[in-house]
């Protein structure tokens, strides 16, 4: 039958070619590509889910942090208001004696908390032999730090400057300052200097 069909096409002048050649266009292996694409898509979906979960958790944590900060600020504002009310009450004339007595008692308690033996031992380490300690008054400031008000005496200012340098290089004294100077008198033949310095001993 195929021979008659070919003869008829040649007699009719019809030249038909069939370009399909299975040997030049073999069957492609699309199954492996499809599986790989499916795995990649699944992995991307899992990654996207994890990212969404992380974003949700981060937003929740941020919301909790903002709420905690707002609560803390509210508490601080309440404490500040209460402190202002107490201070206003303490400034009243009828409470002035109580406030003064409270400050006096706190000063006494702070002084009793100072180790005098350690204080004099630390001063001995920095005091030059030609400088004499005339008076010493420790007091605690608002930060619960010890401040020393000292009166020292010497024949000239050079030994006192040496004392200030030793205090400045010490680990237990801060940078000192000299307030006043008194010249020699009949009762005190030496120059007297008033020195202020912070002391690192904890109460």
The string of pLDDT tens digits covering residues 32-48 is 777 778 888 888 888 88
Average pLDDT, rounded, for the chain? 77
Give the pLDDT band of residue 75 (cuts 50, 70, 90). confident
Give the pLDDT band of residue 138 (cuts 50, 70, 90). confident
Write down the domain spans for the chain: 27-91, 108-199
Q: Pull the structure tokens for residue 184.
A: 């020699």
Give the pLDDT band of residue 101 (cuts 50, 70, 90). low
Q: Where are the strands (E) in the chain, listed by range?
A: 132-140, 146-154, 177-182, 191-199
**In whole angstroms, what is the distance from residue 56 CA to residue 42 CA?**
21
pLDDT value at residue 195: 92
pLDDT value at residue 137: 87
Q: For the purposes of burial, counting CB atoms within 10 Å of the CB of 167, is it exposed (0-12), middle (13-18) or buried (19 or more)?
A: buried
> How much is the pTM?
0.45
Main-chain phi, psi angles of 13, to 5 degrees:
75, 25
pLDDT value at residue 162: 93
Q: Among positive and negative, which fits the CA dihedral 104, 108, 113, 117? A: positive
Query: What mean pLDDT do residues 46-73 have?
Result: 86
Please identify which residue in the block is written with the tokens 């200097």: 193
pLDDT value at residue 145: 73
What is the assigned CATH class of domain 108-199? Answer: alpha beta
**In whole angstroms, what is the distance from residue 40 CA to residue 111 CA?**
76
pLDDT value at residue 202: 55
CA atoms within 13 A on the CB side of 109: 8
């Amino acid at each position: 039958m195929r021979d008659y069909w070919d003869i008829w096409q040649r007699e009719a002048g019809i030249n038909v070619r069939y370009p399909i050649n299975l040997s030049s266009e073999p069957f492609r292996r699309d199954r492996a590509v499809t599986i790989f694409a499916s795995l990649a898509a699944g992995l991307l979906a899992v990654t996207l889910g994890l990212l969404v979960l992380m974003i949700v958790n981060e937003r929740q944590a941020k919301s909790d942090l903002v709420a905690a900060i707002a609560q803390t600020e509210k508490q601080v504002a309440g404490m500040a208001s209460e402190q202002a009310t107490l201070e206003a009450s303490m400034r009243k004339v009828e409470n002035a004696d109580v406030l003064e007595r409270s400050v006096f008692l706190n000063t006494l308690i702070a002084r009793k908390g100072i180790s005098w033996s350690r204080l004099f031992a630390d001063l001995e380490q920095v005091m030059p032999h030609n400088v004499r300690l005339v008076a010493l008054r420790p007091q605690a400031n608002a930060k619960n730090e010890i401040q020393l008000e000292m009166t020292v005496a010497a024949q000239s200012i050079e030994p006192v400057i040496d004392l200030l340098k030793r205090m400045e290089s010490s680990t237990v004294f801060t940078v000192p300052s000299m307030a006043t100077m008194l010249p020699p008198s009949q009762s005190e033949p030496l120059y007297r200097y008033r020195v202020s310095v912070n002391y690192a001993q904890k109460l």
